[in-house]
Amino acid sequence: MKKAIIYICLLASGYGFAQDHFIGVSTSSRTGLLNTYLNPAELTNLSKKYEVNINGLSVNVSNNILSMSDLNSDTDFEELIFKSGKTVNMNIDAEILGPGFAMKWHKWGFGLTTKGNVKFVLVDVDPDLGQSLFNTTDITETGTALINNKNNQRFNGISWGEVGLSAARNVFENDQHSFSAGLTLKLLFPGSYSNAGVDAFRGSIVSVYDANNPSNSTAYLTNASASLNFAYSGDLSDSFTNQSDYTQSIFGKLGGFGTDIGANYQWKDPNDVKKYKINVGMALRNIGSMSFKDSKNASNSYRLNVPQGQQLNLEQFSNLESLKDVEEVLVNSGYLTTEEKSTDFNVKLPATFSLYSDFKIYGKFFITGQLQQKLSDNEGNNQVTAQNNFSIIPRVSLGYFEAFLPYSQNEISGSNFGLGFRVGGFYLSSSSLITAISNDAKQFDLNFGFRWAFVE
């Protein structure tokens, strides 16, 4: 398990992974299917009568420790992450858009979408605990770390697929104003899942350095207590270090339902009633849950208790690749008391509230404000995580061509500046590119795709 987290982080940085996906493009005045992912009520505002989504990809990695300049560092990533002295939060997240179709019909709008989701996160991981689990063979001094972490520290990975059925209706419209409401029903297809939760951890981690034979250096846990949860399903029950385990089984069997609900208001441009001066929308997204059912399923809760004077050798976890292996070592140690065991289990979607407003400043120039607020606690063992995010996006729209410079404030990675453009139905953007070039970014993301709209 020592290299598992670092491996995934390096893998993700090669792709570039953003939590609020498709920033800039999803609030474009060229309204299409991407807008409806943010708010289903936008279906009534489609720029053309029909639109077909060909493909789309948004990928991101964000964290509160490493910046882009660290990627060129000779220092081990384990040392950079877990010797920072800060609680570690990291999010690796991707959305893969498949074929989709949308259309306007009188006062109605309808849509059919497909999407895959891949996600891996660290939540509130204590640096001393992380260092002892992932870097025991690099111990260089003897010492004791006293840990009293009241949070639920999580190592969580998940993949699932979605098929969305959307409908929206224009409730009111005249020459100056319009108001619409929309709904998306999501069919959820859970793929793979893994979760390790370490709640209310208290204990002492003792590092022992052997100067005569450094390879014999070790670390152990004593006088410790915590509530533990191990849950896994599908391919992630066997390993959480292999990239293919996250992607080869995104779409499993139908196992749940989700809902997006949204509303939209437009103040129309008096010079062109097909365009607007102000576009405002709000939505509740990802309300729902899914059930994981697999022959490899397990969701087990334990109470850990390592008494004073007894020791749990942490070197045992260095080369493990699955949560099942970690669980087995702990069970065999004799320091666990079983509290609950089950096979099938439910996982809640990352529910969020979204609010945005796009203003026409002058001529072809617009500015958008966009807010995402999570509605759930990321520490819940059965919860897919979400992040709070706020964006300001100045934009120039020339019809066929559009360019924008998003600024975002992310609760994990902080401030980011990016760049993006759209040419017809093709788009390419990053909400952190400019910050990444300066080597200060703790996030790098990229999204691109193509859709085709036709019939005025």
The three state secondary structure string of 334-385 is CCEEEEEEECCEEEECCCEEEEEEEEEEECCEEEEEEEEEECCCCCCCCECC
Residue spans of alpha helices (H) in 71-207: 77-82, 127-134
Residue 131 near residue 78, CB atoms below 8 Å: yes
Examine the pLDDT at 14 and tell me if it is beyond 70.
no
Q: Which long-range contacts (CB under 8 A, 24 or more apart) does 83-88 make?
A: 83/127, 83/131, 84/127, 85/127, 86/127, 87/124, 87/125, 87/126, 87/127, 87/149, 87/151, 88/63, 88/64, 88/122, 88/124, 88/125, 88/126, 88/127, 88/130
Residue 176 clears pLDDT 60, i.e. is over it:
yes
Please report the DSSP string for 21-81 in residue order.
TTTTTTT-SS--HHHHHH-GGGGGG-SSSEEEEEEEEEEEEEESS--GGGGG-SS-HHHHH
> Is residue 438 classed as helix, strand or coil in its secondary structure?
coil
- CA 318, 239, 383, 385 torsion: positive or negative? positive
Structure tokens at 317: 């976890």
Angstrom distance (rounded) from CA 114 to CA 241: 27
Averaged pLDDT, 44-70: 91
Question: Structure tokens of 398?
Answer: 């020339």
At residue 72, the pLDDT reads: 63
Residue 403: what are its φ and ψ, rounded to 5°?
A: -135, 145
Distance CA 119, CA 352 (A): 16
CATH number for 4-454 (one of 2.60.40, 1.20.140, 2.40.160, 3.90.320): it is: 2.40.160
Q: What angle do CA 248, 252, 257 make, to 5 degrees?
A: 135
- The answer for residues whose C-beta is within 8 angstroms of residue 381's C-beta and 6 or more apart is 152, 154, 195, 197, 229, 231
Average pLDDT, the chain: 88
Residue 376 has pLDDT above 60, yes or no: yes
CA distance 114 to 174: 34
Cβ atoms of 121 and 156 within 8 Å: the answer is yes
Q: Are 356 and 371 in contact (CB under 8 A)?
A: yes
Which of 366, 205, 283, 384 shows the shortest CA–CA distance to 40?
A: 283
pLDDT at 272: 87
Q: What is the C-alpha to C-alpha distance for residues 101 and 111, in angstroms, rounded to an integer?
A: 6
pLDDT at residue 15 in the model: 34
Which of the residue ranges 291-295, 317-321, 322-326, 392-396 would you say has the lowest mean pLDDT?
317-321
Q: Are strands 218-233 and 177-208 parallel, antiparallel or unpaired?
A: antiparallel
Domain boundaries, the chain: 4-454
**pLDDT at residue 19, rounded to an integer:** 52
Q: What would the pLDDT profile of 249-296 be if each residue is shown by its tens digit?
A: 688 899 999 999 999 999 999 988 889 999 999 999 999 999 998 888
Q: How far is CA 361 from CA 92, 280, 315, 396, in A?
A: 35, 15, 61, 10
Beta strands in 108-142 (DSSP E): 108-125
pLDDT of residue 140: 58
List pLDDT tens digits, range 185-212: 999 999 999 999 999 999 999 888 777 7
Q: How many CA atoms lie within 13 A of 275 on its CB side?
A: 16
- CB of 422 closer than 8 Å to CB of 402: yes
When mean pLDDT is compared over 118-132, 173-187, 431-445, the highest value belongs to 173-187
**120-174 pLDDT, tens per residue?**
999 999 988 877 776 655 565 778 889 999 999 999 999 999 999 999 999 999 9
Phi, psi of 37 (to 5 degrees): -65, -35
Q: pLDDT tens digit string along 388-408? A: 999 999 999 998 999 999 999
* pLDDT beyond 60 at 337: yes
Joined tokens for residue 48: 């053309």
Mean pLDDT for the stretch of residues 84-107: 92
Q: State the pLDDT at residue 420.
A: 97
- The CB density around residue 85, as the number of other CB atoms within 10 Å, is 8
